[in-house]
């Protein structure tokens, strides 16, 4: 049986997240807000999921570039593996720095910085937009002549390392602080205190920041604030992904002339007016069902959904080669709907009920297609009743979820 063993990364990283949580509790550090962690992991699940469908094309893209434009004919050797790792880290530094300095790129990277906690779950805050953007930067590597197989292997290691630097449980690491990006350095990168803004872009090696003037040491007497300088006031899964794209579109619509529109797209994030978001939030994030208080019942409901989404993701990656694209797509859509649902439930959005109906439709879709007639009929009747009597079912649904 041909299994994709990379699926085990899901439970292994979850285990590390739990260990870090336990250590933080023992150290008496309040570094884990439940809803923040749920929101972080949701974004990570979506990225892993969408990566399943696009990562193959990244490999093909690298191979195409190497075979058609590769400057040097590179064969794997110890020296060249090390050189590739250093080149990858160097390209990462510039990708990351420009992602903070150019609006269009920041729109993809901003999601990583929205969390106001800093712990291992934040390392999951990566989006597929970032993966696409990074691939653009990393295309320099096959153009140099590095084979796609070498690049993919190095990116696996390079991609796993930053997981471990998103923590407040580890202090400074002595001599390692001079060479590697450590948790201390990366805390500075995630801090929104004025003195820490736009610092420490490195991924594995800290030398690039020291070389290009963006290095900042973590001071013991500064209390760190994490997250955006203007924090998001929502856990909406969709809004977290798209708010800055929407802000840019809004600003571009208001600006006059091509020059000023382009200036918004390629300018710096500091120059986007902060009232754009407030206006858009008034349009897109309307009122909630009841009071915004979230009880233990709701937390349990969301936690169960997250657990099911994680298990489904694990199974989907593991069995990737045995599932048709249609099956993969149905499971992927179900997981994405579940993530949107979790964010919306925490926000107590009015449309959660309707999203649930859509989710049940999607879940029953394979049944309708592949199984016998009686089940299809039962499914259709159930859904018709739920849609025909929304008030009745919605009231019960709200009571079940919110306990009110
Ligand atoms: Zn960053
Ligand atoms: Zn980070």
Taking CA atoms, 363 is separated from 46, 217, 237, 260, 366, in Å, by 18, 50, 20, 47, 7
Ligand 1 center to 181 CA (angstroms): 13
pTM of the model: 0.86
Ligand nearest to the CA of 96: 1
Residue 361 has pLDDT above 50, yes or no: yes
Distance between CA atoms of residues 216 and 207, nearest Å: 12
Q: Among all ligands shown, which has an atom nearest to the Cα of 201?
A: 1
Ligand 2 centroid – CA 188 distance (Å): 10
Between the CA of 112 and the centroid of ligand 1 the distance, in Å, is 7
Ligand nearest to the backbone CA of 115: 2
Ligand (nearest to CA of 124) = 2
Question: Ligand 1 centre and the CA of 201: distance in Å?
Answer: 6
Question: What separation in Å is there between the alpha carbon of 35 and the centre of ligand 1?
Answer: 22
How far, in Å, is the centroid of ligand 2 from the Cα of 181? 11
Q: Which of 118, 100, 117 is closest to 108 using CA atoms?
A: 100
* E strands present in 54-201: none
Ligand closest to 269 (CA) is 1
* CA pair distance 187, 220, nearest whole angstrom: 12
What is the CA(183)–ligand 2 centre distance, in A? 10
Question: pLDDT confidence of 128, banded at 50, 70, 90?
Answer: confident
Look at residue 35 and give its three-state secondary structure: helix
Q: Which ligand is nearest to the CA of 109?
A: 1
- State phi, psi for 198 to the nearest 5 degrees: 55, 50
User: Cα(51)–Cα(131) distance, rounded to whole angstroms?
Assistant: 8
Q: Which ligand is nearest to the CA of 108?
A: 1
Region 84-103: what's the mean pLDDT?
96
At residue 279 the predicted structure's pLDDT band, cuts being 50, 70 and 90, is confident
What does the alpha-carbon distance between residue 59 and residue 232 come to, in Å, rounded to a whole number? 35
- Phi, psi for residue 288 in degrees, rounded to 5: -105, 175
Count of positions (residues) in the chain: 404
Range 10-39 average pLDDT: 91
Cβ distance 131 to 82 under 8 Å? no
Tell me how far the alpha carbon of residue 311 is from its chain's centroid.
18
Q: Ligand 2 centroid vs 403 CA: distance in angstroms?
A: 36
CB 111 within 8 A of CB 43: yes
CA of 36 to the centre of ligand 1 (A): 18
Counting ligands in written order, the one closest to the CA of 99 is 1
DSSP output for 126-148: --HHHHHHHHHHHTHHHHHT--H
Average pLDDT over residues 372-380: 67
Tell me which ligand sits closest to the C-alpha of residue 192: 1
Higher pLDDT, 19 or 256: 19
Q: Which token pair is 238? A: 């969709």
Residue 297 Cα to ligand 1 midpoint, Å, equals: 35
Nearest to 60 by CA among 134, 153, 142, 144: 142
Q: What is the pLDDT of residues 308-336, one digit of tens each?
A: 999 999 999 999 888 888 888 888 888 88
Using DSSP's 3-state secondary structure scheme, residue 349 falls into strand
Q: What does the DSSP 8-state code read for residue 89?
A: H
What is the whole-number distance in angstroms between the Cα of residue 166 and the centre of ligand 2?
6
Output the CA 20–ligand 1 centroid distance in Å: 22
Q: Tell me how far the alpha carbon of residue 89 lies from the centroid of ligand 2, in angstroms.
A: 15
Q: Does the pLDDT at position 289 exceed 70?
A: no
Q: Can you tell me the mean pLDDT for 48-61? A: 86
Phi/psi at 191 (5° precision): -75, 145
> How many angstroms is it from 122 CA to the middle of ligand 2?
7
């Amino acid at each position: 049986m041909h299994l994709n063993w990379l699926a085990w990364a899901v439970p292994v990283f979850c285990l590390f997240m739990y260990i870090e949580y336990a250590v933080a509790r023992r150290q008496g550090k309040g570094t884990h807000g439940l809803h923040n962690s749920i929101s972080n992991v949701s974004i990570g699940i979506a990225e892993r999921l969408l990566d399943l469908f696009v990562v193959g094309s990244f490999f093909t893209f690298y191979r195409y570039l190497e075979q058609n434009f590769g400057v040097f004919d590179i064969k794997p050797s110890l020296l060249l593996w090390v050189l590739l790792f250093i080149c990858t880290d160097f390209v990462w530094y510039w990708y990351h720095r420009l992602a903070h300095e150019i609006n269009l790129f920041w729109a993809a990277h901003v999601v990583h910085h929205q969390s106001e906690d800093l712990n291992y779950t934040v390392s999951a805050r990566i989006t597929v937009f970032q993966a696409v953007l990074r691939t653009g930067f990393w295309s320099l590597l096959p153009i140099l002549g590095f084979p796609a197989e070498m690049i993919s292997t190095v990116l696996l290691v390079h991609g796993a390392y930053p997981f471990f630097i998103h923590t407040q449980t580890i202090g400074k690491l002595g001599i390692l602080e001079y060479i590697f990006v450590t948790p201390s350095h990366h805390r500075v990168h995630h801090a929104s205190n004025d003195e820490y803004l736009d610092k420490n872009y490195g991924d594995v090696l800290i030398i690039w920041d020291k070389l290009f003037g963006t290095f900042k040491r973590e001071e013991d007497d500064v209390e760190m604030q994490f997250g955006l300088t203007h924090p998001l006031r929502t856990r909406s899964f969709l809004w977290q992904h798209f708010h800055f794209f929407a802000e840019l579109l809004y600003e571009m619509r208001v600006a006059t002339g091509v020059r000023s529109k382009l200036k918004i797209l390629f300018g710096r994030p500091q120059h986007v007016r902060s009232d754009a978001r407030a206006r858009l939030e008034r349009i897109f994030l309307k009122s909630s069902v009841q009071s915004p208080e979230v009880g233990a019942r709701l937390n349990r409901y969301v936690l169960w959904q997250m657990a099911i989404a994680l298990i489904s993701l694990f199974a989907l990656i593991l069995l990737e080669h045995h599932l048709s694209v249609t099956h993969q797509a149905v499971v992927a859509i179900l997981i994405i709907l579940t993530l949107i649902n979790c964010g919306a439930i925490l926000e107590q959005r009015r449309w959660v009920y309707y999203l649930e109906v859509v989710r049940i439709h999607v879940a029953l879709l394979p049944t309708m297609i592949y199984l016998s007639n009686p089940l299809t009929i039962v499914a259709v009747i159930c859904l018709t009743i739920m849609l025909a009597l929304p008030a009745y079912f919605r009231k019960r649904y709200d009571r079940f979820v919110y306990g009110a």
